[in-house]
Amino acid sequence: MIVMKFGGTSVESAAAIERVAAIVRSRFDQQPLVVVSAMGKTTNRLLAAADKAAAGNLEDAFRDIEELHAFHRREAGAAIPRENHTAMEVVLENHFEQLESTLQRVAGTAQLTPALWDEVCSYGERLSSALVALALPGFGIPAVHVDAREVLVTDSRHSQALPLYSRTYARFKEKVVPLLQGRVGVMGGFIGATSEGVTTTLGRGGSDFSAAIAGAGIEAEEIQIWTDVDGMLTCDPRVLPGGRLVKRISFSEAAELAYFGAKVLHPSTVQPAIEKNIPVRILNSRRPEVGGTLIVADAVSSTNPVKSIACKREITVVEVRSLRMLMAHGFLRRIFEVFDRYKTPVDMVTTSEVCVALTIDHDRALPEIEQELSRIAEVTVVRDQAIICLVGDALRETSGLGARIFGALREVNIRMISQGASFNNVSFVVQGADLLPAVQALHAEFFSTIDPEVFQ
Q: What mean pLDDT, rounded, does the chain reach?
A: 91
Q: Is the pLDDT of residue 364 over 90?
A: no
Write the pLDDT tens digit of every residue in 264-322. Answer: 776 667 788 888 999 999 999 889 999 999 999 888 888 899 999 989 889 999 999 88
Which residue would you say has higher pLDDT here, 140 or 251? 140
* Residue 225 binned pLDDT confidence (cut-offs 50, 70, 90): very high
User: What pLDDT band is residue 98 in, cutting at 50, 70 and 90?
Assistant: very high
pLDDT exceeds cutoff 80 at 263: no
What residues are paired with 35 via a beta bridge?
5, 187
Phi and psi at 400, nearest 5°, equal 75, 5
CA distance 203 to 43: 12
The band of 261, judged by pLDDT with boundaries at 50, 70 and 90, is low
- 397 or 339: which leads in pLDDT: 339
- Asked whether the predicted pLDDT for residue 328 surpasses 70, the reply is no
Distance CA 213, CA 226 (A): 16
Which pLDDT does position 50 carry in this prediction?
97
Q: What is the mean pLDDT of residues 349-369?
A: 87
Output the pLDDT for position 298.
Answer: 85
Residue 260 has pLDDT above 90, yes or no: no
Q: Which CATH number fits domain 2-228: 3.40.1160.10, 3.40.50.720, 3.40.462.10, 3.30.530.20?
A: 3.40.1160.10
Spatial contact of 275 and 216, defined as CB atoms under 8 Å apart: yes
With 70 as the cut, is the pLDDT of residue 74 above it?
Answer: yes
The predicted structure's pLDDT at residue 325 = 61
Average pLDDT over residues 420-426: 75
Identify the band that residue 130 occupies on the pLDDT scale cut at 50, 70 and 90.
very high
Residue 422 pLDDT: 67
> Which pLDDT does position 67 carry in this prediction?
96
State residue 204's pLDDT score. Answer: 64
Is residue 14 predicted with pLDDT exceeding 80? yes
Instruction: Say if residue 228's pLDDT is above 70.
Output: yes
Rg, the chain, Cα only? 24
| Model confidence band, residue 203 (pLDDT cutoffs 50, 70, 90) | confident
- Across 117-127, average pLDDT: 97
pLDDT for res 316: 94
From start to end of 355-449, where are the E strands?
Answer: 355-360, 378-391, 414-419, 425-431
Q: Once rounded to an integer, what is the mean pLDDT over residues 354-371? A: 89
Residue-level pLDDT at 332: 83
Using an 8 Å Cβ cutoff, are 265 and 211 in contact? no
pTM here is: 0.84
Q: How high is the pLDDT of residue 407?
A: 93
Task: For residue 171, give the nearest of 152, 188, 192, 187 by alpha carbon.
Answer: 152
Q: Which fold has domain 308-447?
A: VC0802-like (3.30.2130)
| Contact predicate 278/221, CB 8 Å | yes
Most confident region among 71-75, 238-242, 269-273, 338-342 by mean pLDDT: 71-75
pLDDT tens figures, 146-200: 999 999 999 999 999 999 999 999 999 999 999 999 999 999 999 999 999 999 9
Dist CA 143 CA 441 (whole Å): 50
Give span(s): CATH 3.40.1160.10, the chain. Answer: 2-228
Q: What is the pLDDT of residue 262?
A: 66
Contact status, residue 447 vs residue 234, Cβ threshold 8 Å: yes
DSSP 174: I
- List the beta bridge partners of residue 185: 33, 144
- pLDDT average, residue stretch 383-412: 89
The whole-number pLDDT of residue 266 equals 67
The secondary structure element, H or E, covering residue 193 is strand 191-193
Strands of the 308-321 sheet, one edge to the other? 349-351, 355-360, 308-321, 378-391, 425-431, 414-419
Alpha helical stretches, state H, 111-250: 114-135, 165-171, 207-218
Domain with CATH 3.30.2130.10 in the chain: 308-447
Confidence of residue 227 (pLDDT cuts 50, 70, 90): confident
pLDDT score recorded for residue 167: 97
- Tell me if 218 sits within 8 A of 414, measured CB to CB: no
Other residues' Cβ atoms within 10 Å of the Cβ of residue 10? 25
Strand ranges for 202-325 from DSSP E: 222-227, 248-250, 280-284, 293-296, 308-321
Tell me what percent of the residues of the chain surpass a pLDDT of 90.
71
- Which pairs count as long-range contacts for 153-156, CB under 8 Å and 24+ apart, including other chains? 153/192, 153/193, 153/194, 153/195, 154/192, 154/193, 154/194, 154/200, 154/202, 155/194, 155/200, 156/194, 156/198, 156/200
| pLDDT of amino acid 388 | 93
Quick one: average pLDDT of 218-225? 96
Decide: 130 and 96 in contact? Cβ < 8 Å: no
